[in-house]
Amino acid sequence: MNNDLILLGHGSGGRLSHQLLDDLIIPIVSGTAPAGQNDAALLDPVAGQLAYTTDSFVVDPIFFPGGTIGSLAVHGTVNDLAMMGARPLWLSMGLILEEGFSKADLKVILEDMRQAADAAGVRIVTGDTKVVPRGKADKIFITTSGLGVVEHSFSIHGANAQAGDAIIINGTIGDHGIAVMADREGLKVSTTIRSDSAALNGLVAEIIAEAGEQLHVLRDPTRGGVATTIKEIAGQSAVSITLVEEDLPVDPAVRGVCSILGLDPLFVANEGKLLAFVAAEAAERVLARIRRHPLGEKAAIIGQVTAGEPGRVRMETAIGGIRAVEMLAGEQLPRIC
Amino acid sequence: MNNDLILLGHGSGGRLSHQLLDDLIIPIVSGTAPAGQNDAALLDPVAGQLAYTTDSFVVDPIFFPGGTIGSLAVHGTVNDLAMMGARPLWLSMGLILEEGFSKADLKVILEDMRQAADAAGVRIVTGDTKVVPRGKADKIFITTSGLGVVEHSFSIHGANAQAGDAIIINGTIGDHGIAVMADREGLKVSTTIRSDSAALNGLVAEIIAEAGEQLHVLRDPTRGGVATTIKEIAGQSAVSITLVEEDLPVDPAVRGVCSILGLDPLFVANEGKLLAFVAAEAAERVLARIRRHPLGEKAAIIGQVTAGEPGRVRMETAIGGIRAVEMLAGEQLPRIC
């Protein structure tokens, strides 16, 4: 037996499982002694409405410029809680490992998860590990779930966009998808492009503090990109939305790779971006506050909500035309998250 | 495009993802209209300590006598909450699908999840679906997490076993592992063997009602079987444990397959069994109550806790000897759950 590799026995629930937990997973992820493992974690009572979410992560490659599958799994779930206006508190972690996966790589991924969790102020409190035979999974898949608490009384959700709302994004679009894609394809052009993977809960707290109930919708444009997310919200809120192409922040290198690959950055995944729908009168104030945050320096107002046909999204193009925006059709970039 | 199969685009986050959610996943799993999907579910405040757990399920085959990967994923997570004495309330569901997986099979699995959730009195409130290219996963993996509430003031956990405690199991051991294994291997001998996969929260409520604070530990002997679970608890509680081989309930057909395959049922996985550590004076009363429950007809007292060497587990064998019981070493039955 090679001591550097994950074996089927590490998923048996028996002695090897306990060793992996005690020697590697628990010390890194929880930062506490491995004593007292139970079937579930017990958590202090929470005053307020709970937010609860889950996401599975299958990104390929598992290490990419700007992150790993581990930090991505933490950021993604923290962000889904933050998008409901909740304060993220606790995460769970389900690992599915391929037999023969490198323990050293697992260690790096777990350390990255822990660091991301610490930075976001959340704790990974419960987990599970399964191992499948070689060829039955690809290296490592991670499913995180998350729990948070809603500490304000107003409502932030996808059906709450209102005519007149300004739509703010906190920076450039498409960075995550293009960073992963360029790395996977070995494109040399891409050396400056990094995933934007980041926990947005700190920024959301700033936005809520500034906007209060003038904040109507928050959503992170991950798979499917800004186009798909905007289209979703237009449908849920039964409003029209107009985007202004010239106002969309796009990194020049990302734009370059997109044009080589024939991709529209509007459909490319982000992992550290949010769309905030804010009442018009608060928009400039909120934009200024976002720009003062490290994750919001390139924030911009990219469009607005109108009272037109429910679910319609249009874009004012750079050359002065108007085009319809639809959801991503088919699959542009498999295993992007 | 074949409309009967899962495509990469069903994991894109775009139009196909929305169709799969709206047409299949959400109506079956949640039983509600697909309107108003958000990044996280909002849940009513809960009075009391929360229990939180997660498990990934990679069982092969995905359909087996007595269950599917879907019901197993619900039962496993419900049971982990119940083993902390918590009342299970909500589940999350993360699906990882292989490109080309059958939509009809997915439908059966989701219906089985829903039925299991309804029977256990829990709701699946949030989920995620990813699709990986053909050959990068094996059909379907499901990661559930669960949330429950602890409604009593005494402590039920693995470090709470006390000298003198009787150890009760609610029925025969090894049924799940052998049902899956026999089905996978196509053993004809196995036609009567079914997985014991079941939600144990109802039975746990009965045990708590009967035993109160005389109930010290609850744990479900899943991967690694009764031997591994008992050994874990002996270590956590720093006690000795003696099991009595003759008192272990084993189905004759399971015993037969075990002897053919050279397996000890003590190490084989269960998915509808619990071990209850109960103060001696309450043991017969609790046993009688368990036996009145449909999931406890074959319940038995299988051993007791003593004040000997911390972590030591011994078995009084059927032929009158004593042998040491250790955790499962290596991997007996890969992908058993």
What string of DSSP letters covers B253-278? HHHHHHHHHT--GGGS--SS--EEEE
Nearest CA in chain A to B267: A14
B159 CB neighbours in chain A (<8 A) are 35-36
Give the pLDDT band of residue A290 (cuts 50, 70, 90): very high
Span A303-317, pLDDT tens digits: 999 999 999 999 999
- A310 part of contact set with chain B, CB < 8 Å: no
| CB distance B176 to B271 below 8 Å | yes
**Looking at residues B251-277, what average pLDDT do you find?**
95
Cβ of B157 within 8 Å of Cβ of A36? The answer is: yes
Interface test with A, best of B16, B19, B56, B140 (most A CBs within 10 A): B56
Nearest-angstrom CA–CA distance, B203 and A91:
28
pLDDT at residue A189, rounded to an integer? 64
| CB distance A131 to A7 below 8 Å | yes
Which residue from B129, B138, B147 is facing A147, i.e. has the nearest CB? Answer: B147
pLDDT at residue B118, rounded to an integer? 97
Span B5-41, pLDDT tens digits: 999 999 998 999 999 999 999 999 986 554 567 889 9
pLDDT at residue A35, rounded to an integer? 53
Span A40-62, pLDDT tens digits: 899 988 888 999 999 999 999 99
- A61 part of contact set with chain B, CB < 8 Å: no
A100 CB neighbours in chain B (<8 A) are none
- State chain B's mean pLDDT as an integer: 94
Nearest-angstrom CA–CA distance, A207 and A169:
12
Q: What share of chain A is helix, strand, coil (3-state, %, to 5)?
A: 35, 25, 40
Cβ of A133 within 8 Å of Cβ of B35? The answer is: no
User: In a 10 Å sphere around its CB, with 0-12 CB exposed, 13-18 middle and 19+ buried, how is residue A165 labelled?
Assistant: buried
Give the pLDDT band of residue B79 (cuts 50, 70, 90): very high
Which residue from A132, A157, A330 is facing B16, i.e. has the nearest CB? Answer: A330
Interface test with B, best of A1, A83, A143, A326 (most B CBs within 10 A): A143
Q: Which tokens belong to B174?
A: 């090894």
pLDDT at residue B174, rounded to an integer? 97
A136 CB neighbours in chain B (<8 A) are 58, 60, 137-138, 335
Which phi and psi angles does A87 have, rounded to 5°? Answer: -90, 115
Q: Which residue in the block uniquely carries the two structure tokens 């084993």?
A: B250
pLDDT surpassing 60 at residue B1: no
Q: State how beta strands B240-244 and B313-316 pair.
A: parallel
A83 vs A221, B13, B85, B277, CA distance in Å?
Answer: 11, 17, 32, 43
| CB distance A301 to A287 below 8 Å | yes
For residue A64, what is the enclosing H or E element? strand A63-64
Higher pLDDT, A307 or A170: A170
Cβ of A326 within 8 Å of Cβ of B15? The answer is: yes
Note which residues in 90-149 of chain B have CB less than 8 A from chain A: 90, 92-96, 125-133, 135-138, 141, 143, 145-148
In DSSP terms, B143 is beta-bridged to B56, B94
Q: Using alpha carbons, select from A247, A16, B15, A14 the residue that is nearest to residue A6.
A: A16
Nearest CA in chain B to A219: B39
pLDDT at residue A3, rounded to an integer? 82
- B284 part of contact set with chain A, CB < 8 Å: no
The alpha carbon of residue B39 is apart from the nearest alpha carbon of chain A, in Å, by 5
- A205 part of contact set with chain B, CB < 8 Å: no
pLDDT at residue B44, rounded to an integer? 87
Cβ of B145 within 8 Å of Cβ of A56? The answer is: no
Give the pLDDT band of residue A2 (cuts 50, 70, 90): low
Cβ of A38 within 8 Å of Cβ of B11? The answer is: no
Nearest-angstrom CA–CA distance, B64 and B251:
18
Cβ of A96 within 8 Å of Cβ of B146? The answer is: no
For residue A274, give every residue at least 6 positions away whose Cβ sits within 8 Å of its Cβ, in sequence order, or none.
A79, A82, A83, A169, A170, A200, A203, A204, A218, A219, A220, A221
The alpha carbon of residue B58 is apart from the nearest alpha carbon of chain A, in Å, by 7
**Looking at residues B68-79, what average pLDDT do you find?**
98
In DSSP terms, B276 is beta-bridged to B168, B218
pLDDT surpassing 90 at residue A152: no
A50 CB neighbours in chain B (<8 A) are 42-46, 147
**Looking at residues B296-320, what average pLDDT do you find?**
96
pLDDT surpassing 90 at residue A230: yes
**Looking at residues A157-169, what average pLDDT do you find?**
97
Nearest-angstrom CA–CA distance, A239 and A248:
21
Cβ of B81 within 8 Å of Cβ of A39? The answer is: yes
Cβ of A219 within 8 Å of Cβ of B79? The answer is: no
**Number of residues that this document lists for chain B:** 337
Cβ of B332 within 8 Å of Cβ of A12? The answer is: yes
For residue A320, give every residue at least 6 positions away whose Cβ sits within 8 Å of its Cβ, in sequence order, or none.
none
The alpha carbon of residue A20 is apart from the nearest alpha carbon of chain B, in Å, by 12
For residue A54, what is the enclosing H or E element? strand A49-57
For residue A92, what is the enclosing H or E element? strand A86-98
| CB distance A158 to B38 below 8 Å | yes
Give the pLDDT band of residue B192 (cuts 50, 70, 90): confident
User: Within chain A, where are the H helices?
Assistant: 15-20, 26-30, 69-82, 103-120, 175-185, 201-211, 225-237, 252-261, 280-291
The alpha carbon of residue B55 is apart from the nearest alpha carbon of chain A, in Å, by 5
pLDDT at residue B261, rounded to an integer? 87
Span B221-252, pLDDT tens digits: 999 999 999 999 999 999 999 999 999 999 99
pLDDT at residue A192, rounded to an integer? 85
Nearest CA in chain B to A127: B54
